[in-house]
Amino acid sequence: MKKALFQLHAAVFLAGFTGILGKLIGLNEGLLVWYRMLLTVLTLGVILFLRKQLQRIAFKDALKIGGVGLIVALHWVTFYGSIKYANVSVALVCFSGSGFFTSFFEPLIFKRSINPREVLLGLLAIAGIYIIFDFYPQFKTGIIFGVLSAIGSALFPIFNKKLLVRFSPATLTLYELGGGFLFLCLFVPVYLIRFPADYYLPTPSDWVRLLVLAWLCTVLCFDLQLNALKKISPFTANLTYNLEPVYGIILAFLFFNENKSLSGHFYAGVGLILLAVILQMWRLWYNSSRILRR
């Protein structure tokens, strides 16, 4: 459990940089995710081929895994859309709503009863988002994108929890992002009609940032997260990922001085989200201690 939590927090820390890179990359959010997935699939495919770990799986299984990749693709597009139409700090706070959605989706998918404590902790995060939404109406479009991103983020680890029983993290990541990339090849041209791009080919600086995004914040981050999911629940994973806004917001303050445009209401919202994470970590520690004493 300790190793799994360390891997999860390392993944969250790396994920904290994705918002910063998304802001720095000038591409439209749809194109940004298309290039990110392309580079990630190519990189991971070459690595697995050289290591002789490239696995062929049944077409039926590939469709299921690719379906999860579609969710990941939509999650990323809406996440970066939230950054483009609001800012990094607001997008990351909205992302924290995933804990609330997980508290409902996980019991429905795994056919178990809803845990009232998980719902209450998730509601703390939603209350934080509501405070920000109420006091920053100029970010309305970005906040809507952010909530949609949180829904996608809630579903992703739930489905992966089942798939990890049969497939390695690397294989799962390759087929998921490969499926997501194929979906984006069809989706992005339509998306660009509604949300036009200023340009279509990355600049040299965009390429550097896209490579960092693909290699560190995707390949390495996914591997750490999926390994952690073998030992911990999807709800714990999603709630822990609520620390991503904390890391990302600190970085946004350092890189973009976003703290100058945010009031005390924003920090009140972030405080509620952080409280939900701390309480869940305490619940895990307390329950683990009781099991060990037995």
Q: Quote the CA–CA distance of 194 and 184 in Å, as a whole number.
A: 15
How much is the pLDDT for 289? 57
Q: Which amino acid is at 199?
A: Y
How much is the pLDDT for 201? 96
Kindly tell me the burial class for residue 2, based on how many C-beta atoms sit within 10 Å of its own C-beta (0-12, 13-18, 19 or more): exposed
What does the block give as tokens for 199? 């340009």
Q: Quote the CA–CA distance of 201 and 212 in Å, as a whole number.
A: 17
How much is the pLDDT for 238? 62
pLDDT tens-digit series, residues 15-30: 889 999 999 999 999 9
Note the pTM of the prediction, 2 decimals.
0.84
Dihedral (CA of 40, 41, 46, 52) sign? positive
Q: HSE (CB half, 13 Å, CA atoms) of 244?
A: 33
- Of the pLDDT bands very low, low, confident and very high (cuts 50, 70, 90), residue 288 is low
Kindly tell me the burial class for residue 260, based on how many C-beta atoms sit within 10 Å of its own C-beta (0-12, 13-18, 19 or more): exposed
- Of the pLDDT bands very low, low, confident and very high (cuts 50, 70, 90), residue 43 is very high
HEC letters along the chain = CHHHHHHHHHHHHHHHHHHHHHHHCCCCHHHHHHHHHHHHHHHHHHHHHHCCCCCCCCHHHHHHHHHHHHHHHHHHHHHHHHHHHCCHHHHHHHHCCHHHHHHHHHHHHHCCCCCHHHHHHHHHHHHHHHHHHHHCHHHHHHHHHHHHHHHHHHHHHHHHHHHCCCCCHHHHHHHHHHHHHHHHHHHHHHHHHHCCCCCCCCCHHHHHHHHHHHHHHHHHHHHHHHHHCCCCCHHHHHHHCCHHHHHHHHHHHHHHCHHHHCCHHHHHHHHHHHHHHHHHHHHHHHHHHHHHHC
Of 292 and 176, the structure prediction assigns the larger pLDDT to 176
Q: Over pLDDT 90: what percentage of the chain?
A: 38
pLDDT tens-digit series, residues 214-270: 999 988 887 888 788 778 776 677 667 667 777 888 888 888 888 776 777 778 877
